[in-house]
Amino acid sequence: MIAEVGLALLWLAAALAALQLVVGALALRPEGRALAGLVRPVAVMQGLLVMGAFAALVMLFVTTDLSVKLVVDNSHSAKPLIFKIAGTWGNHEGSMLLWVTIMAVAGAFVALIERRLDEATLTATLAGQAFISLGFYVFLLIASNPFARLAQPADEGQGLNPLLQDIGLAFHPPTLYVGYVGLSIAFSFAIGALVTRNVGPAFARAMRPWVLGAWIFLTLGITAGSYWAYYTLGWGGWWFWDPVENASLMPWLAATALLHSVSVLQSRDALRAWTVMLGVVAFSMSMVGTFLVRSGILTSVHAFAVDPQRGAFILALLAIDIGGALALFTLRAGTVTEGKRFGLVSREAALVFNNVMLSGILGIVLIGTLYPLLTEAYGVKVSVGAPYFNPAAGMFAFPMFVVMAVGPLLRWRQDRLSGARSGRRLWPLAVCLALVLAVLVGVELTAHGIALLPALGLSVAPGLLLASLLPLRGRNLRRTPLPVWGMVVAHAGIAVALFGMASESAFSVERLAALSIGEAREVGPWRVSLDGMMPVAGPNWTALEANVTTRYAGGTPVQLHPRAETFTNPPGTRNESALETRWNGQLYVVLGEQAEDGRWQMRFWWKPFVPLIWLGGALVGLGGALALLGRVMSDIRRLVAKDKIAWRRMRQGR
């Protein structure tokens, strides 16, 4: 019954999306203007209906309804509740339903609260959103129905991949999805603005919080995903340049560029066409990423839901949506009037530089990700990894870091590097001094056998951290607007993460050891000993758990318990690493197999300052949240003030 209700709701939502598209398109013509009032309520209703459909699917998973094919394939009655719920989106159909749900809810949200954009552009935006959604509805209803029943209910479900039964996975995909799909709003805004040719500060002001919101979720999702991979996969690495990781990084890079160019458009009415272009590119990267993951045309560790037929469907959607948007851009961008001009030394110019560098990194990642596909077409198999990505991306990233340090201190429109303004006279000197210092530190580090990139990172990060705090200098901290705090925190987060990455790469110590019980080893400043081994059991797994005593530089001993887990439904194994975090790094312990002579194979890593990577990521997300909060609060204040004025006028008029 629930399955049928869910399916019916999904069909109704799809029908409303079609209505939204048609009415929106008609309302843009002079003779259809009367219909414009219909678009907002339809968008809200569509959001509500698809939320109902998603709730129905969650319910099926919670109750483990074994007559539904999707539940049987991906769940099991003995699974803990949280993983039953997470199982809803741990598969192809469910995750596509989550995709349209977020898309429709975001559209409903825009319809409900967006009041600053002119009505025609908003109507075109919502019609655009309905157009993209409609493609995904068709995909769900025709090629991946999540509510399909089995002719004969199964006795038991097949369970969820053990790697996915992790608390990190319960939250990481939905967070990323909100980010990916949230960018569809920016995409629709761009389409709407192209249709009405109305690109300007008002458009940027309306678009900015949506981009910011999606970007926060993307940042947090990528950070969480990186930490999840780090501690569950047991390889001790935090980023693998895997196609799926790249698929999440590319929209982030485009969204970061968009975030900065939209601020230029809002404040200075410049970079009009470029901003619109980035709005199209950001969501296009989300869709390309989804295609790469779901079609299985690239080999990846995330090889779930691989199906060429679905790939063909998503590719068709890709061609219609992205191709259509880019064609519209080609036709219309020439008629979007020119924006304001600005000087070579100005905040705009620094932001343009940052945009170009981010686009450069995006290009590097895109090429690296697709290169195996390209050579495969000529019969040559290659795999592209860190030796390509790290230096190629670094080539763009380091100049960007330097400009990022200086950019926020420059003035809009036109600035002078030296001049009458007090305190500014020392500027060129200070910048040169910092750069020379960074180079000296870098040279010193490489002389100690540290590779070039980590050495660069270690030498640039402290200066970047300091520089990102400088915009606060001379301000009354209690009266500093939240968006400024947001920028400072986010930029500082980048510096912190950079230091963590460089330190991990420069100073990690790895030890592979076969230990018998009672034996000890040195790992960097740690002394670890294997004290014992015992079996433990969880709700749907059994495991061998090692008892490892660790001491940092002769300090108090800490017990760690790395496990090798064996799952029964479905059968599989997972190595649960054990981590000991100190302020200056993390000890990482993995339990391997038992050798023939009875000794246990174990892996140890000492990774100085590695948690800073994720702390930095979290700070970047926090910075975004502060900026968003500041903007929303100032909006609310303005609305309240407007209401007050209107109320006073009304009273006086009486």
| Residue 202 φ/ψ, nearest 5 degrees | -65, -40
Cα distances (Å, whole numbers) of residue 649 to 115, 526, 644? 21, 73, 9
Query: Of the listed pieces 219-227, 324-332, 551-559, 560-568, which binds another protein according to CB under 8 A?
Result: 324-332
Q: What's the distance, Cα to Cα, between the start and end of the chain in Å? A: 57
By the rule CB under 8 A, 342 interacts with another protein: yes
- Tell me the closest approach of the beta carbon of residue 336 to another protein, in angstroms: 7
Q: Which of 31, 151, 155, 337 binds another protein (CB under 8 A)?
A: 337
Q: Which of 18, 72, 250, 277 binds another protein (CB under 8 A)?
A: 277
- Tell me the closest approach of the beta carbon of residue 361 to another protein, in angstroms: 17
Cα distances (Å, whole numbers) of residue 436 to 322, 395, 400, 424? 45, 18, 17, 19
Q: Which of 311, 408, 462, 572 binds another protein (CB under 8 A)?
A: 311
By the rule CB under 8 A, 381 interacts with another protein: yes
By the rule CB under 8 A, 368 interacts with another protein: no
By the rule CB under 8 A, 288 interacts with another protein: yes
By the rule CB under 8 A, 308 interacts with another protein: yes
Report the relative pairing of strands 526-537 and 520-523 from DSSP bridges.
Answer: antiparallel
For residue 5, the SS3 value is helix
By the rule CB under 8 A, 544 interacts with another protein: no
Q: What is the DSSP letter of 547?
A: E
Q: Which of 82, 148, 319, 633 binds another protein (CB under 8 A)?
A: 319
Burial class, 222, CB count within 10 angstroms (exposed 0-12 / middle 13-18 / buried 19+): buried
Q: Which of 217, 274, 541, 567 binds another protein (CB under 8 A)?
A: 274
490 contacts 619 by C-beta, under 8 angstroms: yes
Please report how many Cα atoms fall inside a 13 Å half-sphere around the Cα of residue 602, on the Cβ side.
Answer: 34
| Residue 526 φ/ψ, nearest 5 degrees | -95, 150
By the rule CB under 8 A, 333 interacts with another protein: yes
- Tell me the closest approach of the beta carbon of residue 416 to another protein, in angstroms: 9
By the rule CB under 8 A, 167 interacts with another protein: no
Tokens of 146: 């999540």
Query: Of the listed pieces 166-174, 310-318, 429-437, 631-639, which binds another protein according to CB under 8 A?
Result: 310-318
178 contacts 102 by C-beta, under 8 angstroms: yes
Q: Which of 295, 369, 390, 550 binds another protein (CB under 8 A)?
A: 295
Q: Which of 31, 155, 334, 449 binds another protein (CB under 8 A)?
A: 334
Distant-in-sequence, close-in-space partners of 4: CB < 8 Å, separation ≥ 6: 147
Pick 536 or 595: Cβ nearer another protein:
595
By the rule CB under 8 A, 373 interacts with another protein: yes
Cis peptide before 201 (omega within 30 of 0): no
Q: Which of 66, 61, 104 is nearest to 84 (CA)?
A: 61
Residues 577-636 that bind another protein (CB under 8 A): 595-596
Residues forming contacts to another protein in the complex (CB under 8 A) are 270-274, 277, 280-281, 284, 288, 291, 295-299, 308, 311-312, 315, 318-319, 322-323, 326-327, 329-330, 333-345, 348, 352, 370, 373-374, 376-377, 381, 414, 595-596
